[in-house]
Amino acid sequence: MVTTAQAGVLSIDLQHPWPSDALDQVRVYEDRAATMDIQQISNLAIQHPERFHDATAALLHPGRSTSAWWLEFTLINADIFPLRLRLAMGPPNLQWVDFYVQRGEQWQHYVSGENVPLEAQSQPGRLPTLGFSLAPNALQRIFVRVEGSRPLRIQPRIYLESAFQRQEGWTSIWTGFLLGEFGALAIAALFIALFSSSRSFACLGLLGLVTLLYEATLRGYAKLYLWPGATEWAERAGNVLGCLSLCTFLLFFYMLARQESVELPAKRYFLGLAIAEGIFACIGAFSGTPALGMVVALSSLLIGTSLMVAAYILVKRSVPYGQFTFWFTLFFLLHMSLRVIERSGALAGLLARFDIQNVATNPAISLLGTTINFMLLASWITQVAKQRQSARRALEELRESEHHRLQAEVELQTTALNSALKYADDKNRQQTEMLGYISHDLRAPLGTIVSYARLLRETQTSLQAPYIRTIERSANYQLALIDDLLEYAKGELQPLQITPGSINMADLLQDLYQHGVAMSAHQDNHFICEAPDELPAHVIIDVRRIKQILYNLLSNAAKFTHNGVIRLQVRASRETGQWALNFTVADSGIGMEPSVQAGLFKPFSQVHPHSGGTGLGLFIAKHIVEQMGGELLLESAPDIGSRFSAHIRVSADGPETIVWRPEASHPAPVPEETPQIADGMLPPARRRLELAILAHEGQLSSIEDWIEQTVADHPDSAGYIEQIKAALLVLDFPRIETLALSAVGPAAMDY
């Protein structure tokens, strides 16, 4: 493409390619102070042309230099067609490149280079280049200023624009293959590490990623796509990533040796090298040390040589892993040696003769080396896979023999277990039969008691009536329990069967309120029952079971609370066609330790061993709540109290709602003086003593029976009975006891 017209002038046409020795037509000047501007350089080139030297490969490879290097190009288009040209100044790592193009008497300035943000460059690209057009027979004068703190390798070339774009396309394809190999290696190794929990493959995946970034940085693609504006990092990235790749390279071999149980020679030495490379990477990340690049190059030679020695020792020991290490490190050492020699400038002329711009970034050389490394790695993985397969076969044989042994042992244990289960089933069947026999035999005497009680009711006196009713109620209750036992023994019903039905919510709460007041009065506790939310008027629920739950919780609260407060709170909320009910029983009693709470809902578990009861109440309550589809929760702390919450969901039997309040929230005040009642208006003393005992024990139902019987037997005591009824209406048991005892005296003991 270029022919020589005269000394210092490049004559360009479309017939001839650019020759490699055309550097003779480029003139070079070294500005040691790096202070001259374009006008001074232009005048110097005209007035003292002898101070400019013909360019050579060695001259344009000055290494580390603080000078500014000026290159003068004089181009003439010897063709009849206009030419679109591209002047490229060398590898992507040139830090500062200024192009000056003469336009008449003025110089047009273009900036480029690795240390210039991409958006500030006149013609952005991965390489420092200048694109321009040259008319037929037109002459163009161009000056290029190159400066950098790293070793300089200036490699000027002029291309037709189409040829340059074609070469960049092929370079991108080759580089894409290269970076794709590293990316595939990294992804595959990380996946293997993820599924096999292998640290060596994790390190190999990291090595692939770091090397990918390192190679992309050397070729200018990282500056182009990853950090276009990070000038300081663009300057340091090559050295930092180079140190990191060496560090991960050493760690990979170290972990690989440990994984394969290979004794790596001088493993502490290699671990120290890896740590040193990590330190160099940290220094490079926070400091732009100019000499770090040479340190990286020399340390790579040291690492390659050390690994070669270690690989030779492993080969002598006949370790298969050593052969892989030897060939892998051999290529690594050769490649690093070429890079160091190239960096020193010793091969500048030889590389220029063979038209090789840069060993480090030449895509063909890099792709060939990477392919060789991958082939070695694949052969090692194949060898390891064969070893693993052999070990797996041995393991499968061992597993098969162990399986037969375990199968025989399991059969033996199964036979013994079946015998034990048969024995347990026989014992359970015998116990069930015995339970049925005992329950059946208990019905006969209780049935006789009920029958005789009913016969006695026909001839009962007023004094005998309450006792006969008590006997009959207790016997009937016992018969109901026996029926449950018989049904359970027959296997017809599960215990605690739930039978929902429609109930009146107000009646349920009033019953709970009255029961709570009666239970709380035994140990001078104050009872509060509240329902702050709107409630459904009628719900579908097993009233017997819900009372069983709450009576048990209220009874426990009353048992373990003295002179305190017991609270029953009922909350309700609508939830998707149902009502969520929350019954909470809280007390200010003795509370429980967390260790006690953990087993409280287990059968036969008691808060205090000497508190009475069987320890089944809370177990049964929790079982009932769970059968209703809810849950029973506990919150408690020692000396603070306990809080039981039963959460269940029910269906409403109708749209009506209520706002419930207890009929009597507080007991009626007791008059300071009990009114005097004539003896003729009082029931007999024996009956009044019986009432006092019932009031003291809080026997609500028995007191109602007492009132009914007394009205029938002693109609002249209506005034006295009205006072008893008024006190009973507000569940004022102390006042009933006072009324019963106030008139009892020696003169009143008439029977």
Per-residue pLDDT of 109-130, as tens digits, reads 999 998 889 888 888 888 899 9
Question: Once rounded to an integer, what is the mean pLDDT over residues 212-229?
Answer: 86
CATH of 2-155, one of 3.30.70.1710, 1.10.10.10, 2.60.40.2380, 2.40.50.140: 2.60.40.2380
- The angle, 0 to 180 degrees and rounded to 10, between the axes of the packed helices 733-742 and 685-697 is 160
Beta-carbon contacts of residue 669 (< 8 Å; ≥ 6 apart): none
Instruction: Calculate the CA 488 to chain-centre distance.
Output: 48
Flag whether pLDDT at 693 surpasses 90. no
Bridge pairing between strands 565-575 and 526-530 = parallel
Range(s) of the chain covered by CATH 2.60.40.2380? 2-155
> For residues 123 and 258, which has the higher predicted lDDT (pLDDT)?
123
CB-based burial label for 652 (10 Å; 0-12, 13-18, 19+): buried
Query: How much is the pTM?
Result: 0.49
CATH of 393-490, one of 3.20.20.140, 3.40.50.1980, 1.10.287.130, 1.20.58.220: 1.10.287.130
Range(s) of the chain covered by CATH 3.30.565.10? 501-658
Token pair for 243: 């140190």
Q: For position 284, what pLDDT does the model report?
A: 83
How does pLDDT run across 468-479, given as a tens digit for each residue?
776 776 777 677
Label residues 258-274 b or e (16+ Cβ within 10 Å = b).
Answer: eeeebebbeeeebeebb
Query: Reduced to 3 states, what is the DSSP secondary structure of residue 136?
Result: coil
How does pLDDT run across 328-379, given as a tens digit for each residue?
677 666 666 666 666 555 554 555 454 455 555 566 666 666 666 666 566 6
Q: For position 749, what pLDDT does the model report?
A: 37
Flag whether pLDDT at 400 surpasses 80. yes
Question: Once rounded to an integer, what is the mean pLDDT over residues 38-62?
Answer: 88
CB atoms within 10 A of CB 334: 12
Q: For position 180, what pLDDT does the model report?
A: 84
β-bridge partners, 73: 142
Q: For position 671, what pLDDT does the model report?
A: 41
Percentage of the chain exceeding pLDDT 70: 76
Range(s) of the chain covered by CATH 1.10.287.130? 393-490
Task: Say how far apart CA 298 and CA 293 lie, in whole Å.
Answer: 9
Fold adopted by 501-658? Heat Shock Protein 90 (3.30.565)
Task: Say how far apart CA 61 and CA 155 lie, in whole Å.
Answer: 8
CB-CB contact of 594 with 601 (8 Å): no
Q: For position 538, what pLDDT does the model report?
A: 93
Sole residue written with tokens 């023994």: 489
- The angle, 0 to 180 degrees and rounded to 10, between the axes of the packed helices 733-742 and 718-729 is 160
CB-based burial label for 410 (10 Å; 0-12, 13-18, 19+): exposed
Q: How many residues does the chain have?
A: 751
Task: Say how far apart CA 65 and CA 43 lie, in whole Å.
Answer: 24
- For the four alpha carbons of 599, 605, 610 and 611, in that order, the dihedral sign comes to positive
Beta-carbon contacts of residue 377 (< 8 Å; ≥ 6 apart): 185, 324, 328
Highest mean pLDDT among 122-131, 325-334, 396-405, 687-696: 122-131
DSSP symbols for 249-300: HHHHHHHHHHHTT---TTHHHHHHHHHHHHHHHHHHHH---TTHHHHHHHHH
* Banded model confidence at residue 748, pLDDT cuts 50, 70, 90: very low
DSSP symbols for 211-223: HHHHHHHHTTHHH
CB-CB contact of 322 with 315 (8 Å): yes
Highest mean pLDDT among 26-30, 267-271, 637-641: 26-30
